[in-house]
Structure 1
Amino acid sequence: MNEEFTNRMLVVVEVTTARPDRPAYHAKVQVLNSRVVADAETAGWAVIRIAAADVTPAELLRRTADADALVIVGGEDITPRFYGGSAGYEGETAHFATADEGQIALVQRALALGTPLLGICRGLQIINVALGGTLVQHIDDGIHKNIDVPIDQILVAHGVSLAADSTLASSLGRVDISVQSAHHQIVDRLGANLVAAAHAPDGLIEALEHESAPITGVQWHPEAPDSPADQLALLLAGLAAQHSARALAGSLAA
């Protein structure tokens, strides 16, 4: 355990704690989300896990007010009205508008306060939408997820090229990586002051960063069991470094 970060609070924000109509999907999501929590605790973070659909947006903001860093993890599609989209698109999933509203508010507050934030899969999309970006509502090319397979086989491996000058490349220590992904939506128009930090072989955006705030989103799943062993740990270490930089800046300004 990294004692330097013990008692620093990381809040992991998921969508919901219950999907009684989709038990296999829920079980898969729980495996992924639990890995984020476990690896963060191993790294020395004090972790709080909150489901945004289970509280009001105001309560979500209240319960995360003391967070030193945030991770918004994967889940269902974002309700289209939050990015000017229409319902009825191909591959549409269930929507949790309360979770969407709360997570969008979290991103906006993180930007205002300088709180380090990592978005994973849906979390990247929440970041983009929160800052005024839009989404491509459906892609179906077999690169970004396996199609027509059981949920346990949905993740697919593919390469990603990181921008050499990105914070993400610095955190991961390389510019060409292998990732595990399972998504059917992707960034369309980037939100305000967001830049593409990685691309897939088909040219689609696979990661984004804010130009000045410690906000990063990855479209893939570093927490997946078959992801490179150190990928999630390195991203969490990046959050810790951003938190330390923020704390140092605060102490110098005091």
Structure 2
Amino acid sequence: MTVPLIGVVADRKPASSGAWVDIPTDGLPHSYLSAIEQAGAAPLLFPALDVHLDDPGRLLDRIEGLFLSGGRDVDPHLYGATPHPANDEPLRIRDELEIALARQARERGMPVFGACRGMQVLNVALGGTLEQHLGDRVDLSPHRDVYGVHTAHSVTVAPGTLLDRITRDRDFDISSHHHQAVDRLGEGLIASASAPDGVVEAIETTDGGFCIGVQWHPEERLEPEGLALIRAFVGAARAYAQGRADGATAAPISAAAAIVESAS
């Protein structure tokens, strides 16, 4: 079967090379794209542009899975909140495009996987809200100690969840760099992993399809669990592609178990 295409929306940041300084650049850290390729899929990068908001479905027509990557904080106005002073300056067009893609992907039954900010985007897309600064409530250092440096802490996976069927262990260390987290869960979502301090570290849908978000960076720590997660997502994308080729509107809901078994 053809290698599945995985859509990823690019961030926009200033970049410098030689005499060219602070040039606005659409891109992502290579670790995301490399991890998707290593898991058996081909990433397809979409720039965050107004033209794509006119018809996000055209982008989904070209892919078999949607990967929501990390990055800056989501604009709080999109979930009815006032920005916290500790927040990043948002890139509203990226927020709006990823939210639109996530919603339509869910309507199609297309597999969705979110990492760090990507989990937060998924929660907001499905009607949830975010806690804007964990440091106001808990010790922030396990989640983000030095800005620009990943930290490590353990997570515990809830038994009986799809995440539980993918991961080898229910307790393992992850690569973390965030100061926000899920507050109110979006519609149809459950918390499937947590940190020792109770912060929600993973979410997933309950309809049997493949829609998972993790608050960590699996692409930065592929072993022991990161690559297994992304491979399971790619397996779901492959099943979705087969279902679409066979004329189905989505991968069968019952395919989730087989996807997990094939990724283990």
1:70, 1:50 → 2: CA distance?
11
Q: Which residue of 1 aligns with 2:112?
A: 117
Equivalent residue in structure 2 for 1:11, among 7, 16, 30: 7
CA contact (8 A) 2:64 2:241 kept: no
- Structure 2 residue 73 is matched with structure 1 residue 74: no
CA contact (8 A) 1:57 1:99 kept: no
Instruction: Please report the TM-score for the alignment, with normalisation by the length of structure 2.
Output: 0.80
1:85, 1:253 → 2: CA distance?
39
Q: Which residue of 1 aligns with 2:143?
A: 144
1:166, 1:51 → 2: CA distance?
33
2:242, 2:55 → 1: CA distance?
29
Letter of the 2:182 partner, please give it: V
CA contact (8 A) 1:158 1:180 kept: yes
Q: 1:55 to 1:179 in 2, by over 3 A?
A: farther
Letter of the 1:175 partner, please give it: R
Equivalent residue in structure 1 for 2:223, among 219, 229, 232: 229
> Percentage identity across aligned positions?
34
Letter of the 2:230 partner, please give it: L
Letter of the 2:153 partner, please give it: H
Instruction: Please report the TM-score for the alignment, with normalisation by the length of structure 1.
Output: 0.83
Computed over aligned residues only, the root mean square deviation of the Cα atoms, in angstroms, reads: 2.7
* Aligned residue-pair number: 237
Letter of the 1:78 partner, please give it: V
- Runs of 5+ unmatched residues, structure 1: none
2:129, 2:152 → 1: CA distance?
25
CA contact (8 A) 2:70 2:116 kept: yes
2:6, 2:248 → 1: CA distance?
24
- Runs of 5+ unmatched residues, structure 2: 250-264
Q: Secondary structure at the match of 2:237?
A: helix
CA contact (8 A) 2:132 2:181 kept: yes
Q: 1:20 to 1:238 in 2, by over 3 A?
A: same
Q: Which residue of 2 aligns with 1:194?
A: 189
Listed one character per residue, the Cα deviations across residues 162-211 of structure 1 (whole Å, up to 9, x for unaligned) are: 01211112112221111011111100000000000100000110000011
| Stretch moving more, 230-239 or 179-188 | 230-239
Deviation at 1:150, TM superposition (A): 5.3
Superposition map of 1:52-71 within 5 A: 52=48, 56-58=52-54, 60-71=56-67
Please identify which structure carries the higher strand content.
Answer: 2
Q: 1:46 to 1:216 in 2, by over 3 A?
A: same
CA contact (8 A) 2:9 2:94 kept: no
Superposition map of 1:151-190 within 5 A: 151=148, 154-190=149-185
Deviation at 1:41, TM superposition (A): 1.9
